Structure 1
Amino acid sequence: MPNNLFQTADGTSINYIDSKVGKPIIFIHGWGSSLKDYSEPMKALSQRGFRCIALDLRGHGKSKASSGFTVAQAAHDVHELIEHLELKDVALVGWSMGGAVIFSYVEQFGTQYLKKLIIADISPRMKNDDSWDMGLYKGAFNAAMFKYQKSLLPDHFNVFYGDFMYQVVNRSGHYKTAPYYFRWLSRIFAFRRKAAPDVLWTYWNALYKADYRNVLSKVLVPTAVFYAEPGSLFSPKTAEYIAANIPGKAELVPFPDADHLFVVNQKEAFTQAVEHFLNT
């Protein structure tokens, strides 16, 4: 699929791809990544009756920008893309930070343009404290850890980013013992580091501050909550909490023997799960 550009209201050029025919799905990638994460699932699903669309969030991939590196602005960009393409009855698929973008989208625009949602491996609140333990790193990501991360910037961004990738490996079950997995992860690390450090940190700061728990009651369309087991960055009870607090139909979809990166390292299973949910 060729790359396309559309201009947002604030003059930012957003890169996207679009298979143009079928039931519309918009795929939203994670922190430090790009629309390329979804290349293979989009290719497969576009041959099965779906119009597959994905965008590079501003500051990622080919979407160059000088400002607006927040989850709220990313959601606004998604809405502008929906309007630009004159879409309705859209399925949104958001993995990791992409899931937070979906929460923010519903908070700002409701569900009138939406048909279904897939929220993959994310929490409505990343920060943990005495009142909430279902955030990032299965309850370990707190104010003290965030303060330490902030102290590493701007001079030691690689240490901060490397710690995030370590957390992915450390929670990946048997994968962490396989040499091929480390080689594969090093390629992922190099790819994600193409995003500018200040861009990644600004998004990270926005994720840390966000709290979308009250948004769940506004999700009025069928929703699937995908999560990795056992290697998610979040507790299984986080996915259960999301599903339990959505008033519409919500279902849990576990990915066995998976880690947080299941969208890119279990592409066939991910594709099948997306297709099954959207066709039921």
Structure 2
Amino acid sequence: MGYYITVEHGVDIYVNDVGPSDGKPIVFIHGWPQNNKIFEYQYNQLPKWGYRCIGIDLRGFGKSDKPWSGYSYDRLADDIRVILENIRVNNIILAGHSMGGAIVIRYMARHMGYKVRKLALLAAAAPIFTKRPGFPVGLTNMTKEDVNKLIVQTYTDRPEMIKEFGEKFFYQPVSDSFANWVQSLALEASGNATARTAVSLRDEELWRDLSMIRVPTGIFHGIHDVICPFPLAEAMNNEIRHAELIPFMNSGHGLFYCEMDKFNYEFARFSN
């Protein structure tokens, strides 16, 4: 079932709630520039194993409202806090993919892990997404100029930008139909939200946030990821207490589809 929760005046966030109401709750936060439907192949399987899957469309994406402002990691983390305050669940597994991984890390630091039992980082865009002085060499392929080009493309030819970005998403071949479906999810976002969250991806840093995570954390990452390279996973593993690094040897950024069966199994194992 789906429903809306008001996170501030005039902003309603869509929540997709799949599986048994008394199941172990997992809250999914999608990446840039998609929405919660990207987790369809987890929603198909995990409820069979007793999990309740709660997918959130971030503001500006999917079926959520698309306000002009509010696209910093702080505000997006605050939206999650309001949603969790209004859903009658506790002891959740909080899972974030790509930019969603960065946002859930900020949530853990900013809101002291409210209601979270375990944290799952799926190809997370953290602790940084773009190169900058003063940080270890070789962590990321992206420069601020690269992201600026994505922002310009968003304002001039968003469908082509999404198509080109999507071509980097999977390591394993996917059908044209599946690639078109993934692209269609990104087109459900507003152009403004797509550009403004790209600014957050470009500029935010999460090194200090990592040290504030106090729950068991699974770091799920494809070794062939060219969007968020595997050294980012190793950096997070070094900085987060009680972390477990789970590499996917035949996956890129979309590891939950590239190695679907392995991902679902390992994710359920970690979430138990």
- Does the pair score TM above 0.5? yes
In the TM superposition, residue 30 of structure 1 has moved relative to its aligned partner by 1.2
Post-superposition CA distance 1:54-93 (Å, at most 9, x none): 1111111111221323332222111111110133211101
Post-superposition CA distance 1:189-241 (Å, at most 9, x none): 23322212221111111111110111110000000000012234233221111
Any gaps of 5 or more consecutive residues in structure 2?
none
Q: Is the 8 Å Cα contact of residues 232 and 258 (structure 1) preserved in structure 2?
A: no
Match of residue 259 from structure 1: 252
Match of residue 7 from structure 2: 8
Q: Number of residues paired by the alignment?
A: 268
Post-superposition CA distance 1:14-36 (Å, at most 9, x none): 11122321222101111121211
Structure 2 CA distance, aligned partners of 1:134 and 1:57?
A: 31
In the TM superposition, residue 257 of structure 1 has moved relative to its aligned partner by 1.0
1:250 aligns with 2:250: no
SS of 2:155 mapped into structure 1 = coil
SS of 1:271 mapped into structure 2 = helix
SS of 1:75 mapped into structure 2 = helix
Structure 2 CA distance, aligned partners of 1:38 and 1:143?
A: 28
Once superposed, what is the RMSD of the aligned Cα atoms? 2.2
* Within-5 A mapping of 1:81-160: 81-122=83-124, 123-132=126-135, 139-152=140-153, 154-160=155-161
Q: Is the 8 Å Cα contact of residues 35 and 185 (structure 2) preserved in structure 1?
A: no
1:223/1:101 CA distance change after superposition, 3 Å: same
TM-score after normalising by structure 1: 0.86
In the TM superposition, residue 166 of structure 1 has moved relative to its aligned partner by 3.8
* Within-5 A mapping of 1:19-98: 19=19, 20-66=21-67, 67-98=69-100
Match of residue 185 from structure 1: 179
Deviates more, 1:126-135 or 1:53-62: 126-135
Structure 2 CA distance, aligned partners of 1:15 and 1:152?
A: 27
Q: Percent identity?
A: 24
Structure having the higher helix fraction is: 1
1:90/1:159 CA distance change after superposition, 3 Å: same
In the TM superposition, residue 134 of structure 1 has moved relative to its aligned partner by 6.7
Post-superposition CA distance 1:83-121 (Å, at most 9, x none): 101332111011111101111101210124210000011
- Structure 1 segments (4+ residues) deviating >6 Å: none
